[in-house]
Amino acid sequence: MASEDLKRNQEIAIAAIKQNDFAFLDVPEELKVDKDFLAKAIQANKQVWSLIDKELQKDPDLLTIYNESQ
């Protein structure tokens, strides 16, 4: 059940981030360090990049997604 809630939270969070990058600030902490979630967030709204943890901004996979996002 908890994983279903987290999945639903991810979908809601991505929809919110697509509208406003600052919605990222309200997502659960476990999502803020989840690379899969971060990749979706970056693709949804490139501006979220500035809100991601600085150490995670060094991740080569996330950096590639950021550079390739529109």
Is residue 7 over pLDDT 90?
no
Question: Residue 1: what pLDDT?
Answer: 39
pLDDT grade, residue 6 (50/70/90)?
low
Cβ-proximal residues to 6 (8 Å cutoff; 6+ apart), any chain: 28, 30, 31
**Separation CA 20–CA 34 (nearest Å):** 19
Domain boundaries, the chain: 2-68
Contact between 70 and 42 (Cβ < 8 Å): no
pTM of the model: 0.88
Report CA-CA distances (Å) from 24 to 1, 42.
23, 10
